A = this chain, B = another copy of it.
Amino acid sequence: MGNHGYKGNIFPVNPKYEEIEGIKCYPNTASIPSEIDVILVAVPEQSVISVLEEAGKAKVKSAIIYSAGFSEIGEEGKRKQQKIKQIAGESGMLICGPNCVGIIGFHHKIAMSFSQFLDASKLIPGNIAFISQSGALGGALLNRIQDQSIGISYFISTGNEAVLESSDFMEYLLNEPSTTVMMALIEGIKDAEKFLRVADLAIRKKKPIVVMKVGKTESGGKAASSHTGSMTGSDRVYDAVFKQKGILRVDEIDDLYLTASALAKCRRPRGNRVGIITTTGGGGVILTDKLVEMGMDIPALSPDTAAKLKETKASFGIVSNPLDLTAQVVNDPLLFPKSIESFVQDENLDIIVVALAMVGGEKSRERASYIIQASHATEKPIVTWWASGSLSTPGMKMLEESQVPLFTSPHRAVEALNALVQYSQFLRNYNDEGKPTISSSVDNPLKNMTFLSTSYGSLTEDEGREILSYYGIPIPKGGVSKNLEEAKKIASKLGYPLVLKIVSPQIKHKTEAGGVKLNIRNEEQMVGAYQDIMRSTMNYKPDAEVKGVLVQEMVPPGKEVIVGMTLDPQFGPMVMFGLGGIFVEILKDFSLRHAPLRERDAWEMVKEIKGYKILEGFRGEKQADLGAIVSTLLTLSRMAIDLKNVFSEVDINPLVVYPDRGGVKAVDCLFIRKREADKEVVG
């Protein structure tokens, strides 16, 4: 621990030794003649509890437990880990681990870790905090990260997170001035509410969080009866929450630290317009491919820039973006800095990427220094992609140690740029207006719906319709008939064409049961349809309790979408949106957000599905009433918060959407109760 220059007191504890590496050793924590900030627990697993208990008595403030053999090995380990939690609760001790490789403070040279990474010759301090649930992988990456001169403020291996979890450390780091960017390698989040709170704080503090969340393919295995329920696997939920909270999710390990480094080094770009300067035409094409794929803009240069560049060198060839300097740059060395300067001044560009190929030795230092100089004179991010290898080390090292991010892969460069752009955009669009409205209390009409506290399983459609009505979601006209005569009466009031649907708490999938008849055009057809329904449903489920038949107006056709709510076991109420039928079921083309939604979230949900073009109108069709969808999603969000203790899943399927400002109609709905919480209603 002292190897890296830590100057504070260290007290080894071991009953067998008098001293360790020349430092006096104590038989136990109690015998240390000093207040203890933190103990590092590296004893066999069976001694951990007694060491902690002793430390608790000695008023030790915190502990880092390296020892393994807890929740990661199964049930017995979980019980022992519970005991750690209990000691923390009783003693007030802050505990990191168990099964972690510890914590390293790079600024204060506090190396409280047993990671072999500490064999590195020096610790490079910086502004990025690195939180890793995986200790072994975290330590390995630290080595790679610091090889590239990327500075770190803290490395925190959280291990099994018996007490302190990733979010706790993030919260600390948000208030810790040396950290400006956080990156986290996690498999999951324990306390979702805490995480959401910390994420909100991170937005206010403008400190970006880059996350690599692994374990995408875990099969949730959750049985779900509604579309919404079955469509929302936990990884999609994480994706949705991250997006909503401006957390930058990356898919590859290299993107984790390279993106964090770009965020730590660069100012926030004003937009997504990228200028490319390259000494290799092919490199310019590769960058263009990837930038376009990520939705970035590669605009034309301003006439000013073009004129300046043409003047710089008459035989320049083609002046465009990407700007290919060709071998010309060898004959005219000033072409390089002049081009960068013109790009920096071009008001059409927000970001500049410089692509370098095979430039070695002293020449590589010259190129690097031109780039670094230019970066000092502008607020625009300048990033570099250098395609060659060891021959360019001199220049690469200069860039690594500068404020200019260096990438050896164009793909990693563009991923990081995209994160920069996304984060800046998120902060720009984020404001406290447009905050979601939540019904803080549920008023009488909802309380009067006795079925909310008495029935079980799923609601019948007429009950669901009552809730939708209360929330102001448009539904087709209609009513429940107890017999054919009543049905005829309702029909004569509504007029034809009509729809008949069975109403039975035991029949959730009405169409499957033969309990739905569409497009009934007159009384004669209705009589037949009524009898058919009765016969089919009787065959389908002879013991079903039939409450009647819903007689409903047949609404005109429109675009069919699904909106829904599901309770995620971790994050709670999630709102879902997608196009009807195969889009959601087969193509998994749906969007998801955590409730409560802001209006912006709802608009994003509508626009981010692949099938959005269908709603926009194609082949000369009119645009669907997008505003009405957004308002339905916001209402559903409110409903989700109000009723999250009553229902685990809500589907409105289909919600028919009409063109222009024609609104929506919830043509069918399914409300599925939570088993455990049948009687609670919020409010």
Q: Which residues of A contact B (CB under 8 A)?
A: 68, 72-73, 115-117, 119-120, 132-134, 136-147, 185, 187, 214-217, 251-254, 279-283, 285-286, 288-289, 292-293, 317-318, 326-327, 356-361, 386-392, 408-411, 582, 585-587, 610-611, 613-614, 618-619
Contacts and interface: CB of A to CB of B under 8 A. Distances in A.
Contacts of A390: 120, 143, 147
A142 B389 CA distance: 8
A147 B133 CA distance: 33
A187 B282 contact: yes
Given A115-B358, A587-B587, A136 B282 contact: yes
Given A292-B217, A358-B140, A408-B144, A282 B387 contact: no
24 contacts: A68-B327, A116-B359, A117-B358, A120-B390, A134-B280, A134-B282, A136-B281, A136-B358, A137-B283, A139-B358, A140-B356, A140-B358, A140-B386, A141-B387, A143-B392, A144-B387, A145-B389, A185-B282, A187-B282, A187-B285, A217-B289, A251-B411, A252-B409, A253-B286
Given A254-B409, A280-B134, A614-B582, A143 B388 contact: yes
A265 B120 CA distance: 32
Given A214-B289, A611-B587, A136 B410 contact: no
A359 B586 CA distance: 45
Nearest to A612: B586
Which one of A134, A279, A288, A613 has the highest number of Cβ atoms from chain B below 10 Å of its Cβ? A134
A285 B293 CA distance: 27
A283 B388 contact: no
Contact of A411 (B252, B280, B292): B252
Nearest to A187: B285
Contact of A387 (B115, B140, B187, B215): B140
Contacts of A143: 358, 360, 388-392
Given A217-B289, A289-B214, A585-B618, A391 B119 contact: yes
B286 A144 contact: no
A257 to B, nearest CB: 11
A283 B134 contact: yes
B408 A280 contact: no
A214 B611 contact: no
Nearest to A613: B586
Given A144-B388, A144-B389, A618-B585, A286 B214 contact: yes
A350 to B, nearest CB: 20
A144 to B, nearest CB: 4
A173 B232 CA distance: 51
Contact of A117 (B142, B391, B586, B587): B391
Contacts of A285: 187, 214-215
A390 B586 CA distance: 46
A650 to B, nearest CB: 21
